[in-house]
Copies of this chain bind each other. A is one copy, B any other.
């Protein structure tokens, strides 16, 4: 739900809404997240929220994006194992923090809202998947990894355990754990 072109949109209200949304969801969880609550905490009329976003989930998505915008391209030191380990550590740390709570909330919301699901995929998942897949393709070309596996499948194998823990809550997400799992995945993919 990218908001319409900001014609004469109030920057301060916009920002206050994103901040308020983040705080509300961290405090009260997704079920306790309310457009009314967001507007009240942001000191804004409800209409101002509805004017620019179609649902509370869309606000939440933008609030999340606003905090993770920088994470764009993938490192390339020539050592794919190290590069992946570095990335997965960062993601693990993010998901173990408030960011994880918010992201989980977003995924929950997406389940009843196909448009939101599509937006999450397009804005959050795909860019990162693509960057990672590109790096993996280079590693395959360099002979570091088997070339007979679709890089997108590798991305799935590498990141899936993170989401598994995030969603099922079987065990907490810890960076060392996730790196171990990464090692095991890579063990089956070497050239």
Q: Which residues, 1 to 52 on A, are CB-close (under 8 Å) to B?
A: 29-32
Instruction: Determine if B29 and A121 form an interchain contact, defined as CB atoms under 8 angstroms apart.
Output: no
Q: Which residues of B contact A107 (CB under 8 A)?
A: 108, 111, 167-168
Contact of A161 among B160, B170, B189 (CB under 8 A): B160
- The answer for the CA separation of A168 and B107 in the assembled complex, in Å, is 8
Complex copy number for this chain? 4
User: Once the chains are docked, how many angstroms separate the CA of A180 from the CA of B150?
Assistant: 11
Q: Are A125 and B157 in contact (CB under 8 A)?
A: no
How far apart sit A109 and B175, CA to CA, in the bound complex (Å)? 27
A31 to B112, CA, bound (A): 5
Does chain B have a CB within 8 A of A82?
no
- Interface presence of A181 (CB below 8 A): yes
A161 pairs with B168, CB closer than 8 A = no
Complex Cα distance, B170 from A159, in Å, reads 13
The reply on A76 being an interface residue by CB < 8 A is no
Instruction: Contact check, A160 vs B164: say whether CB atoms are below 8 A apart.
Output: yes
Contact digits for A111-144, partner B, Cβ 8 Å, 1 yes 0 no? 1110001001100010001000000000000000
